[in-house]
């Protein structure tokens, strides 16, 4: 299974915000959208960084309540690891494990087209395992 299949099921939905958004605005966005990370983009839709719950927890530890008025640009990770629609589920899992992050933006022909989270990976891996188990069972019982 590949990233393209996951994106199709998610209808390529992705949540973005601007670098000038405050942390207060970002936390409201994360709550409203029930997500753990948001992509930070410029006015042309180019990705500038990613900001996740982890950054907010670290920021709270460093800045205390002053965190709330910091901007997304100040708190985001700028060196973002990405994948493509052709990336396999297996590759996704190793990228997330090695990088110790739970989100991977998807880039197709230089354009941001979606984001895959560890929740998506678990869901689709389970489906894959179930279908493999079903095929094996059918093979054994028909032999
Ligand atoms: P996460 O596990 O996705 O909540 O992110 C943990 C840390 O990694 C945070 O500092 C994020 O900003 C950062 N991060 C999340 N996704 C990526 C990614 N694809 N590439 C680089 N850093 C990331």
Q: Is the pLDDT of residue 102 over 80?
A: yes
Whole domain around residue 116: which residue ranges? 3-142
Which residue spans within 66-128 are E strands per DSSP?
Answer: 103-108, 111-117
Please determine, for residue 13, whether its predicted confidence score (pLDDT) is greater than 90. Answer: no
Contacts of 13 by beta carbon, 8 Å cutoff, 6+ apart: 114
| CATH code of the domain in which 72 resides | 3.10.580.10
Using the mean position of ligand 1's atoms as its centre, give its distance from the Cα of residue 58 in Å. Answer: 12
Distance 79 CA to ligand 1 centre (A): 9
Q: What does the pLDDT look like over 37-75, one tens digit per residue? A: 999 999 999 999 999 999 999 999 999 999 999 999 999
Question: Which of 40 and 136 is assigned the larger pLDDT?
Answer: 40
Instruction: Report the atom number in ligand 1 closest to the C-alpha of 58.
Output: 10
Closest CA to 3 of 133, 127, 129, 120: 120
The count of domains in the chain is 1
The pLDDT mean for the chain works out to: 94
Best CA proximity match to 1, nearest among 115, 89, 94: 89
Q: How far is the CA of 11 from the centre of ligand 1 (A)?
A: 22
């Amino acid at each position: 299974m590949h990233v393209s299949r996951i994106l199709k099921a998610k209808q390529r939905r992705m949540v973005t915000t601007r670098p000038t958004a405050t942390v207060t605005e970002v936390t409201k966005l994360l709550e409203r959208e029930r997500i753990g990370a948001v992509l930070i983009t410029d006015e042309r839709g180019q990705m500038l960084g990613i900001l996740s719950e982890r950054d907010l927890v670290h920021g709270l530890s460093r800045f205390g309540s002053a965190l709330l008025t910091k901007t997304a640009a100040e708190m985001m990770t700028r060196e973002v690891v990405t994948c493509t629609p052709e990336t396999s589920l297996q590759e996704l899992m190793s990228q997330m494990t090695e990088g110790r992050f739970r989100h991977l933006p998807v880039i197709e022909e230089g354009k941001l087209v979606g984001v895959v989270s560890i929740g998506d990976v678990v869901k689709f891996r389970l489906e894959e395992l179930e279908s493999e188990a079903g095929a094996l069972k059918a093979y054994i019982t028909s032999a």
